[in-house]
Amino acid sequence: MPDANATLKLGNEEKSFPVLSGSVGPDVIDIRKLYAETGAFTYDPGFTSTGSCQSAITYIDGEEGVLLHRGYPIDQLAEQSTFPEVAYLLVNGELPSKDELDQFTYTISRHTMLHEQLANFYRGFRRDAHPMAIMCGVVGALSAFYHDSTDITDPKQRMIASHRLIAKMPTIAAMAYKYTVGQPFMYPDNSLSYTGNFLRMTFGVPAEPYEVNPVIERAMRRIFILHADHEQNASTSTVRLAGSSGANPFACIAAGIACLWGPAHGGANEAALNMLREIGRPERIPEYIARAKDKDDPFRLMGFGHRVYKNFDPRAKVMKATAAEVLKELGKSDPVLDTAQELEQLALQDEYFIEKKLYPNVDFYSGVILNAIGFPTDMFTALFALARTVGWVAQWNEMISDPEQKIGRPRQLYVGEPQRDYVPVEQR
Protein backbone atom coordinates (compact mmCIF):
# COMPACT_ATOMS: atom_id res chain seq x y z
CA MET A 1 0.00 0.00 0.00
CA PRO A 2 1.37 3.44 -0.89
CA ASP A 3 2.05 5.67 2.10
CA ALA A 4 1.11 8.94 0.35
CA ASN A 5 0.68 10.47 -3.07
CA ALA A 6 2.61 13.00 -5.12
CA THR A 7 0.74 15.21 -7.55
CA LEU A 8 2.17 16.19 -10.90
CA LYS A 9 0.69 19.05 -12.90
CA LEU A 10 1.45 18.72 -16.59
CA GLY A 11 -0.30 21.33 -18.71
CA ASN A 12 -3.81 21.55 -17.33
CA GLU A 13 -3.90 18.00 -16.07
CA GLU A 14 -3.07 16.82 -12.60
CA LYS A 15 -2.00 13.25 -11.98
CA SER A 16 -1.37 11.54 -8.72
CA PHE A 17 1.43 9.04 -8.13
CA PRO A 18 2.00 6.82 -5.11
CA VAL A 19 4.85 7.64 -2.75
CA LEU A 20 6.50 4.53 -1.32
CA SER A 21 8.53 4.31 1.86
CA GLY A 22 11.37 1.89 2.46
CA SER A 23 12.47 0.64 5.89
CA VAL A 24 14.91 3.59 6.19
CA GLY A 25 16.00 6.28 3.76
CA PRO A 26 14.23 8.67 1.41
CA ASP A 27 10.79 7.93 0.00
CA VAL A 28 10.37 7.24 -3.70
CA ILE A 29 7.70 8.45 -6.09
CA ASP A 30 6.38 5.47 -8.01
CA ILE A 31 6.26 6.71 -11.61
CA ARG A 32 5.77 3.35 -13.30
CA LYS A 33 2.47 4.54 -14.78
CA LEU A 34 3.78 8.01 -15.70
CA TYR A 35 4.12 7.36 -19.43
CA ALA A 36 0.82 5.47 -19.69
CA GLU A 37 -1.00 8.27 -17.88
CA THR A 38 0.75 11.38 -19.24
CA GLY A 39 2.66 10.38 -22.39
CA ALA A 40 5.84 11.88 -20.86
CA PHE A 41 9.04 10.28 -19.61
CA THR A 42 11.34 11.48 -16.86
CA TYR A 43 14.81 12.75 -17.76
CA ASP A 44 17.60 11.78 -15.36
CA PRO A 45 21.03 11.23 -16.97
CA GLY A 46 23.31 9.41 -14.55
CA PHE A 47 20.22 8.30 -12.59
CA THR A 48 20.95 10.79 -9.81
CA SER A 49 17.28 10.85 -8.73
CA THR A 50 16.12 7.46 -9.91
CA GLY A 51 15.61 4.27 -7.93
CA SER A 52 15.95 1.37 -10.33
CA CYS A 53 14.83 -1.46 -8.06
CA GLN A 54 13.77 -2.54 -4.59
CA SER A 55 16.62 -4.02 -2.61
CA ALA A 56 17.11 -5.37 0.90
CA ILE A 57 20.87 -5.88 0.66
CA THR A 58 22.78 -2.63 1.27
CA TYR A 59 21.80 0.72 2.69
CA ILE A 60 23.85 3.90 2.34
CA ASP A 61 23.20 7.25 3.97
CA GLY A 62 25.61 9.50 2.14
CA GLU A 63 24.94 12.53 4.34
CA GLU A 64 25.70 10.64 7.53
CA GLY A 65 28.49 8.44 6.14
CA VAL A 66 26.59 5.22 6.88
CA LEU A 67 27.00 1.92 5.03
CA LEU A 68 25.00 -1.10 6.19
CA HIS A 69 24.98 -4.60 4.76
CA ARG A 70 21.70 -6.32 5.66
CA GLY A 71 21.56 -3.79 8.50
CA TYR A 72 25.08 -4.36 9.87
CA PRO A 73 27.49 -1.37 9.86
CA ILE A 74 30.49 -1.82 7.57
CA ASP A 75 33.05 -0.98 10.27
CA GLN A 76 31.70 -3.76 12.53
CA LEU A 77 31.87 -6.23 9.68
CA ALA A 78 35.37 -5.10 8.67
CA GLU A 79 36.61 -5.52 12.24
CA GLN A 80 34.78 -8.62 13.39
CA SER A 81 33.68 -10.69 10.43
CA THR A 82 35.34 -12.80 7.75
CA PHE A 83 34.89 -12.45 4.02
CA PRO A 84 32.98 -15.77 3.59
CA GLU A 85 30.67 -14.72 6.44
CA VAL A 86 29.99 -11.36 4.76
CA ALA A 87 29.42 -13.21 1.48
CA TYR A 88 26.91 -15.48 3.19
CA LEU A 89 25.21 -12.49 4.78
CA LEU A 90 24.91 -10.59 1.50
CA VAL A 91 23.68 -13.56 -0.52
CA ASN A 92 21.37 -15.12 2.11
CA GLY A 93 20.19 -12.13 4.11
CA GLU A 94 21.20 -13.20 7.65
CA LEU A 95 24.43 -13.91 9.48
CA PRO A 96 25.03 -17.68 9.42
CA SER A 97 24.97 -19.97 12.45
CA LYS A 98 28.28 -21.72 13.16
CA ASP A 99 27.12 -24.81 11.23
CA GLU A 100 25.84 -22.74 8.32
CA LEU A 101 29.12 -20.85 8.13
CA ASP A 102 31.17 -24.07 8.24
CA GLN A 103 29.01 -25.57 5.49
CA PHE A 104 29.21 -22.42 3.35
CA THR A 105 32.99 -22.13 3.79
CA TYR A 106 33.35 -25.82 2.87
CA THR A 107 31.13 -25.39 -0.21
CA ILE A 108 33.12 -22.38 -1.40
CA SER A 109 36.38 -24.26 -0.89
CA ARG A 110 35.08 -27.12 -3.12
CA HIS A 111 34.74 -24.72 -6.05
CA THR A 112 38.08 -22.91 -5.97
CA MET A 113 39.70 -24.75 -8.87
CA LEU A 114 39.17 -23.78 -12.50
CA HIS A 115 38.59 -26.20 -15.34
CA GLU A 116 42.11 -27.00 -16.50
CA GLN A 117 41.22 -25.98 -20.06
CA LEU A 118 40.67 -22.40 -18.84
CA ALA A 119 44.44 -22.01 -18.35
CA ASN A 120 44.69 -21.99 -22.16
CA PHE A 121 42.62 -18.83 -22.29
CA TYR A 122 45.31 -17.04 -20.31
CA ARG A 123 47.95 -18.18 -22.77
CA GLY A 124 46.10 -16.44 -25.58
CA PHE A 125 46.66 -13.04 -23.93
CA ARG A 126 49.75 -10.90 -24.31
CA ARG A 127 51.96 -11.06 -21.23
CA ASP A 128 51.46 -7.34 -20.67
CA ALA A 129 47.66 -7.57 -20.85
CA HIS A 130 45.84 -5.61 -18.16
CA PRO A 131 44.49 -8.06 -15.53
CA MET A 132 41.01 -6.54 -15.96
CA ALA A 133 41.12 -7.38 -19.68
CA ILE A 134 41.97 -10.97 -18.73
CA MET A 135 39.28 -11.05 -16.03
CA CYS A 136 36.56 -9.82 -18.43
CA GLY A 137 37.51 -12.54 -20.89
CA VAL A 138 38.00 -15.44 -18.48
CA VAL A 139 34.91 -14.74 -16.36
CA GLY A 140 32.78 -14.42 -19.50
CA ALA A 141 34.23 -17.74 -20.68
CA LEU A 142 33.14 -19.53 -17.49
CA SER A 143 29.65 -19.94 -18.96
CA ALA A 144 31.14 -22.23 -21.60
CA PHE A 145 32.61 -24.45 -18.87
CA TYR A 146 29.90 -24.47 -16.23
CA HIS A 147 26.86 -24.66 -18.43
CA ASP A 148 25.10 -26.83 -15.84
CA SER A 149 24.56 -23.72 -13.72
CA THR A 150 23.29 -21.25 -16.29
CA ASP A 151 19.53 -21.96 -16.10
CA ILE A 152 18.59 -18.83 -14.21
CA THR A 153 15.02 -19.97 -13.57
CA ASP A 154 16.31 -22.73 -11.29
CA PRO A 155 17.20 -21.34 -7.80
CA LYS A 156 19.56 -24.28 -7.19
CA GLN A 157 21.53 -23.56 -10.36
CA ARG A 158 21.61 -19.88 -9.46
CA MET A 159 23.09 -20.73 -6.07
CA ILE A 160 25.71 -23.09 -7.60
CA ALA A 161 26.70 -20.38 -10.10
CA SER A 162 26.96 -17.88 -7.22
CA HIS A 163 29.18 -20.23 -5.21
CA ARG A 164 31.33 -20.88 -8.25
CA LEU A 165 31.83 -17.20 -8.95
CA ILE A 166 32.68 -16.35 -5.32
CA ALA A 167 35.04 -19.33 -5.09
CA LYS A 168 36.79 -19.02 -8.44
CA MET A 169 37.35 -15.29 -8.52
CA PRO A 170 40.51 -15.38 -6.32
CA THR A 171 41.93 -18.14 -8.52
CA ILE A 172 41.11 -16.18 -11.69
CA ALA A 173 42.62 -12.93 -10.34
CA ALA A 174 45.75 -14.67 -9.00
CA MET A 175 46.26 -16.45 -12.34
CA ALA A 176 45.95 -13.12 -14.17
CA TYR A 177 48.79 -11.83 -12.01
CA LYS A 178 50.93 -14.94 -12.39
CA TYR A 179 50.52 -14.83 -16.14
CA THR A 180 51.75 -11.27 -16.44
CA VAL A 181 54.84 -11.94 -14.28
CA GLY A 182 55.61 -15.22 -16.04
CA GLN A 183 55.41 -17.45 -12.98
CA PRO A 184 53.59 -20.81 -12.89
CA PHE A 185 49.94 -20.77 -11.88
CA MET A 186 49.40 -21.85 -8.27
CA TYR A 187 46.55 -24.23 -7.50
CA PRO A 188 44.33 -23.27 -4.56
CA ASP A 189 45.08 -24.57 -1.07
CA ASN A 190 41.72 -25.13 0.60
CA SER A 191 43.25 -25.50 4.06
CA LEU A 192 43.86 -21.73 4.05
CA SER A 193 41.34 -18.94 4.61
CA TYR A 194 39.70 -17.35 1.56
CA THR A 195 42.14 -14.44 1.82
CA GLY A 196 45.18 -16.52 2.80
CA ASN A 197 44.59 -18.80 -0.16
CA PHE A 198 44.41 -15.80 -2.48
CA LEU A 199 47.67 -14.37 -1.10
CA ARG A 200 49.40 -17.73 -1.57
CA MET A 201 48.11 -18.16 -5.13
CA THR A 202 49.36 -14.64 -5.91
CA PHE A 203 52.68 -14.42 -4.11
CA GLY A 204 53.60 -18.08 -3.52
CA VAL A 205 55.64 -20.20 -5.90
CA PRO A 206 55.55 -23.99 -6.26
CA ALA A 207 59.24 -24.22 -5.34
CA GLU A 208 58.81 -23.00 -1.76
CA PRO A 209 56.34 -23.15 1.10
CA TYR A 210 54.37 -19.93 1.54
CA GLU A 211 53.62 -18.55 4.94
CA VAL A 212 50.63 -16.23 5.23
CA ASN A 213 51.45 -13.08 7.25
CA PRO A 214 48.45 -12.55 9.60
CA VAL A 215 48.68 -8.73 9.45
CA ILE A 216 48.61 -8.77 5.64
CA GLU A 217 45.85 -11.39 5.69
CA ARG A 218 43.77 -9.17 7.99
CA ALA A 219 44.38 -6.10 5.81
CA MET A 220 43.37 -8.04 2.70
CA ARG A 221 40.29 -9.40 4.46
CA ARG A 222 39.26 -5.86 5.40
CA ILE A 223 39.83 -4.63 1.86
CA PHE A 224 37.67 -7.44 0.50
CA ILE A 225 34.91 -6.79 3.06
CA LEU A 226 34.97 -3.02 2.40
CA HIS A 227 34.52 -3.64 -1.32
CA ALA A 228 31.95 -6.45 -1.11
CA ASP A 229 28.88 -4.42 -2.05
CA HIS A 230 27.81 -0.83 -2.51
CA GLU A 231 24.16 -0.74 -3.48
CA GLN A 232 23.16 0.29 -7.03
CA ASN A 233 26.50 1.68 -8.25
CA ALA A 234 27.47 1.65 -11.93
CA SER A 235 28.87 -1.90 -12.11
CA THR A 236 26.07 -3.40 -9.99
CA SER A 237 23.49 -1.66 -12.14
CA THR A 238 25.33 -3.06 -15.16
CA VAL A 239 25.09 -6.58 -13.73
CA ARG A 240 21.38 -6.08 -13.04
CA LEU A 241 20.75 -4.62 -16.49
CA ALA A 242 22.63 -7.44 -18.22
CA GLY A 243 20.84 -9.98 -16.02
CA SER A 244 17.43 -8.44 -16.69
CA SER A 245 17.50 -9.91 -20.20
CA GLY A 246 17.97 -13.38 -18.76
CA ALA A 247 21.69 -13.53 -19.62
CA ASN A 248 23.67 -16.17 -17.73
CA PRO A 249 25.38 -15.13 -14.48
CA PHE A 250 28.93 -15.48 -15.76
CA ALA A 251 28.20 -13.14 -18.68
CA CYS A 252 26.52 -10.68 -16.28
CA ILE A 253 29.50 -10.61 -13.91
CA ALA A 254 31.85 -10.14 -16.89
CA ALA A 255 29.74 -7.08 -17.81
CA GLY A 256 30.10 -5.82 -14.24
CA ILE A 257 33.87 -6.24 -14.44
CA ALA A 258 33.95 -4.22 -17.68
CA CYS A 259 32.06 -1.37 -16.04
CA LEU A 260 34.13 -1.48 -12.87
CA TRP A 261 37.31 -1.03 -14.88
CA GLY A 262 36.63 2.67 -15.59
CA PRO A 263 38.70 5.31 -13.72
CA ALA A 264 35.59 6.98 -12.27
CA HIS A 265 34.62 3.69 -10.59
CA GLY A 266 36.86 0.72 -9.71
CA GLY A 267 39.83 2.09 -11.63
CA ALA A 268 40.07 5.01 -9.20
CA ASN A 269 42.37 3.19 -6.74
CA GLU A 270 44.91 2.65 -9.51
CA ALA A 271 44.45 6.23 -10.66
CA ALA A 272 44.78 7.52 -7.06
CA LEU A 273 48.11 5.79 -6.49
CA ASN A 274 49.41 6.92 -9.89
CA MET A 275 48.41 10.45 -8.99
CA LEU A 276 50.13 10.27 -5.58
CA ARG A 277 53.27 8.96 -7.26
CA GLU A 278 53.11 11.70 -9.84
CA ILE A 279 52.80 14.33 -7.11
CA GLY A 280 55.82 12.64 -5.58
CA ARG A 281 56.49 14.94 -2.65
CA PRO A 282 54.36 17.06 -0.32
CA GLU A 283 55.72 20.39 -1.68
CA ARG A 284 53.99 19.76 -5.00
CA ILE A 285 50.54 19.21 -3.47
CA PRO A 286 49.29 22.83 -3.76
CA GLU A 287 49.98 22.73 -7.51
CA TYR A 288 47.75 19.65 -7.87
CA ILE A 289 45.04 21.06 -5.64
CA ALA A 290 45.01 24.17 -7.83
CA ARG A 291 44.70 22.00 -10.94
CA ALA A 292 41.80 20.02 -9.40
CA LYS A 293 39.98 23.31 -8.77
CA ASP A 294 40.63 24.74 -12.22
CA LYS A 295 37.48 24.47 -14.36
CA ASP A 296 39.57 24.44 -17.55
CA ASP A 297 41.74 21.54 -16.40
CA PRO A 298 40.15 18.07 -16.62
CA PHE A 299 42.33 16.88 -13.72
CA ARG A 300 40.48 15.67 -10.62
CA LEU A 301 41.89 14.52 -7.31
CA MET A 302 41.53 10.78 -7.70
CA GLY A 303 40.28 9.05 -4.57
CA PHE A 304 38.29 12.17 -3.68
CA GLY A 305 34.57 12.72 -3.96
CA HIS A 306 31.69 10.32 -4.22
CA ARG A 307 28.33 10.28 -5.89
CA VAL A 308 26.63 9.28 -2.65
CA TYR A 309 28.90 10.13 0.30
CA LYS A 310 28.78 13.84 0.97
CA ASN A 311 30.14 13.80 4.53
CA PHE A 312 32.72 11.04 4.70
CA ASP A 313 33.15 7.57 3.23
CA PRO A 314 33.04 5.15 6.20
CA ARG A 315 35.23 2.74 4.23
CA ALA A 316 37.97 5.35 3.92
CA LYS A 317 38.33 5.54 7.72
CA VAL A 318 39.04 1.79 7.99
CA MET A 319 41.40 2.01 5.01
CA LYS A 320 43.43 4.81 6.53
CA ALA A 321 43.97 2.89 9.78
CA THR A 322 44.81 -0.29 7.84
CA ALA A 323 47.38 1.53 5.69
CA ALA A 324 49.27 2.61 8.83
CA GLU A 325 49.06 -0.93 10.27
CA VAL A 326 50.40 -2.61 7.13
CA LEU A 327 53.30 -0.19 6.69
CA LYS A 328 54.25 -0.67 10.34
CA GLU A 329 54.17 -4.46 9.99
CA LEU A 330 56.27 -4.36 6.85
CA GLY A 331 58.65 -1.87 8.44
CA LYS A 332 58.23 0.37 5.41
CA SER A 333 58.01 4.10 5.28
CA ASP A 334 56.35 5.14 2.08
CA PRO A 335 56.60 8.70 0.75
CA VAL A 336 53.33 8.00 -1.05
CA LEU A 337 51.56 7.58 2.31
CA ASP A 338 53.10 10.84 3.54
CA THR A 339 51.90 12.58 0.38
CA ALA A 340 48.44 11.04 0.79
CA GLN A 341 48.10 12.19 4.41
CA GLU A 342 49.27 15.70 3.62
CA LEU A 343 47.04 15.94 0.55
CA GLU A 344 44.03 14.81 2.57
CA GLN A 345 44.75 17.39 5.24
CA LEU A 346 45.22 20.27 2.80
CA ALA A 347 42.21 19.39 0.66
CA LEU A 348 39.94 19.07 3.69
CA GLN A 349 40.84 22.63 4.71
CA ASP A 350 40.26 24.02 1.23
CA GLU A 351 37.04 25.97 0.55
CA TYR A 352 36.50 24.28 -2.83
CA PHE A 353 36.49 20.78 -1.32
CA ILE A 354 34.51 21.86 1.75
CA GLU A 355 31.83 23.56 -0.31
CA LYS A 356 31.47 20.66 -2.76
CA LYS A 357 31.58 18.12 0.10
CA LEU A 358 34.51 16.23 -1.38
CA TYR A 359 36.17 13.77 1.00
CA PRO A 360 38.63 10.91 0.54
CA ASN A 361 36.82 7.82 -0.67
CA VAL A 362 37.65 4.14 -0.23
CA ASP A 363 40.21 4.31 -3.03
CA PHE A 364 42.37 7.02 -1.57
CA TYR A 365 44.27 4.79 0.86
CA SER A 366 43.62 1.33 -0.60
CA GLY A 367 46.28 1.87 -3.28
CA VAL A 368 48.88 2.66 -0.63
CA ILE A 369 48.08 -0.61 1.19
CA LEU A 370 48.02 -2.76 -1.92
CA ASN A 371 51.26 -1.23 -3.14
CA ALA A 372 52.94 -1.98 0.21
CA ILE A 373 51.71 -5.59 0.09
CA GLY A 374 53.35 -5.95 -3.31
CA PHE A 375 50.51 -5.74 -5.83
CA PRO A 376 51.31 -3.91 -9.07
CA THR A 377 48.91 -1.02 -9.68
CA ASP A 378 47.11 -2.70 -12.55
CA MET A 379 46.01 -5.50 -10.17
CA PHE A 380 44.14 -3.10 -7.88
CA THR A 381 40.92 -3.03 -9.84
CA ALA A 382 41.09 -6.81 -10.27
CA LEU A 383 41.06 -7.14 -6.46
CA PHE A 384 38.06 -4.83 -6.31
CA ALA A 385 36.31 -7.03 -8.89
CA LEU A 386 37.14 -10.14 -6.87
CA ALA A 387 35.51 -8.71 -3.75
CA ARG A 388 32.58 -7.01 -5.51
CA THR A 389 31.62 -10.31 -7.16
CA VAL A 390 29.92 -11.17 -3.87
CA GLY A 391 27.72 -8.07 -4.07
CA TRP A 392 27.06 -8.61 -7.76
CA VAL A 393 25.84 -12.17 -7.28
CA ALA A 394 23.72 -11.15 -4.28
CA GLN A 395 22.11 -8.32 -6.28
CA TRP A 396 21.70 -10.51 -9.35
CA ASN A 397 19.99 -13.24 -7.30
CA GLU A 398 17.74 -10.68 -5.66
CA MET A 399 16.75 -9.29 -9.04
CA ILE A 400 15.97 -12.67 -10.59
CA SER A 401 13.84 -13.65 -7.56
CA ASP A 402 11.92 -10.34 -7.65
CA PRO A 403 8.43 -10.89 -9.14
CA GLU A 404 8.42 -7.24 -10.29
CA GLN A 405 11.60 -7.73 -12.32
CA LYS A 406 11.40 -6.67 -15.98
CA ILE A 407 13.99 -6.27 -18.69
CA GLY A 408 15.76 -2.93 -18.10
CA ARG A 409 14.89 -0.47 -20.85
CA PRO A 410 15.50 3.23 -20.16
CA ARG A 411 13.95 5.81 -22.48
CA GLN A 412 15.50 8.97 -23.90
CA LEU A 413 14.99 12.59 -24.81
CA TYR A 414 15.52 12.48 -28.57
CA VAL A 415 17.33 15.56 -29.91
CA GLY A 416 18.30 14.26 -33.37
CA GLU A 417 16.82 14.95 -36.79
CA PRO A 418 13.10 14.36 -37.27
CA GLN A 419 12.15 12.01 -40.12
CA ARG A 420 13.66 12.97 -43.49
CA ASP A 421 14.05 11.31 -46.88
CA TYR A 422 17.12 9.40 -47.96
CA VAL A 423 19.22 11.25 -50.58
CA PRO A 424 21.28 9.10 -53.01
CA VAL A 425 25.03 9.69 -52.60
CA GLU A 426 25.50 11.40 -56.00
CA GLN A 427 22.91 14.02 -55.06
CA ARG A 428 24.48 14.98 -51.68
Residues with a known catalytic role? 306, 363
Q: What CA–CA distance (Å, rounded) separates 105 from 193?
A: 9
Size of the residue set binding ligand CMC (CB under 6 A)? 20
**222 scored as a contact of ligand CMC (CB under 6 A):** no
Stretch that binds ligand CMC, among 76-84, 197-205, 261-269, 275-283 (CB under 6 A): 261-269
Q: List binders of ligand CMC among 109-148 (CB under 6 A).
A: none
55 phi-psi bin (left φ>0, alpha ψ -120 to 50, beta other): beta
Using CB under 6 A, which of 219, 239, 279, 301 touches ligand CMC? 301
**300 scored as a contact of ligand CMC (CB under 6 A):** yes
**275 scored as a contact of ligand CMC (CB under 6 A):** no
Element (H, E) at 202: helix 194-203
Q: What CA–CA distance (Å, rounded) separates 355 from 382?
A: 33
**How far from 198 is each of 147, 174, 357, CA to CA, in Å?**
25, 7, 36
Q: Amino acid identity of 358?
A: L
Stretch that binds ligand CMC, among 67-75, 242-250, 298-306, 402-410 (CB under 6 A): 298-306
**391 scored as a contact of ligand CMC (CB under 6 A):** no
Terminus-to-terminus CA distance in the chain, angstroms? 59
**How far from 281 is each of 273, 338, 371, CA to CA, in Å?**
13, 8, 17
Q: What CA–CA distance (Å, rounded) separates 202 from 200?
A: 5
**265 scored as a contact of ligand CMC (CB under 6 A):** yes
**365 scored as a contact of ligand CMC (CB under 6 A):** no
CA angle 131, 134, 140 (to 5 degrees): 135
Minimal distance, residue 227 CB to ligand CMC, in Å: 9
Stretch that binds ligand CMC, among 24-32, 97-105, 107-115, 264-272 (CB under 6 A): 264-272
Using CB under 6 A, which of 77, 78, 165, 292 touches ligand CMC? 292
Q: What CA–CA distance (Å, rounded) separates 373 from 107?
A: 29
**65 scored as a contact of ligand CMC (CB under 6 A):** no
* Residues that bind ligand CMC in the complex, under the rule CB under 6 A: 230, 233, 264-266, 268, 292, 300-307, 356, 358, 361-363
